[in-house]
Amino acid sequence: MLGRVNHVAIAVPDLAAATAAYRGTLGATVSAPQALPEHGVTVVFVELPNTKVELLEPLGADSPIAAFLEKNPSGGMHHICYEVADILAARDQLVQGGARVLGNGEPKIGAHGKPVLFLHPKDFFGTLIELEQV
């Protein structure tokens, strides 16, 4: 079911500062900021030869990232995103196996313009998992 790692997401309290650190200190190529109101975040992607790192900050007071940063004020790893060939088939197989899909269970469009779903971290050893159809 799982394909390659698409990205690892890091929640940050200040996206501009995090972008500057990755670009200036680490010498990384970083995308322009992208607001995703339906997900309550603003994101940038650090491009790497084998995957990406997503830096995300809250967009609005109701952002799920705001709650994460209250518990982790310096930021930290938020989720890992795996690619899947068919997100609906993956969802159905996971639900049949007892995994919980967050939200209403229907995919939303993610930062790459592709359908995504999130899986409950309690079902995967404390790690929030995002699936992205490729």
Q: Which of 33, 125, 121, 16 is nearest to 79 (CA)?
A: 121
Q: Please give the average per-residue pLDDT across 82-90, as a whole number.
A: 98
Q: Mind listing the pLDDT tens digit for each residue in 20-48? A: 999 999 999 999 999 999 999 999 999 99
Q: Is 132 a catalytic residue?
A: no
**Domains in the chain: ranges and CATH:** 5-133 (3.10.180.10)
Selecting among 57, 83, 130, 132, the annotated active-site residue is 130
The model's confidence at residue 58, banded by pLDDT at 50, 70 and 90, is very high
This prediction's pTM: 0.94
Q: Where are the alpha helices (DSSP H) in the chain?
A: 15-20, 64-71, 87-96
Q: Which of 98, 93, 86, 105 is nearest to 122 (CA)?
A: 98
Pairwise CA distance, residues 131 & 25, whole Å = 30
The residues facing 5 across adjacent strands are 82
Q: Mind listing the pLDDT tens digit for each residue in 99-116? A: 999 999 999 999 999 999
The string of DSSP letters for 6-45 reads EEEEEE-S-HHHHHHIIIIIS--EEPPPEEETTTTEEEEE
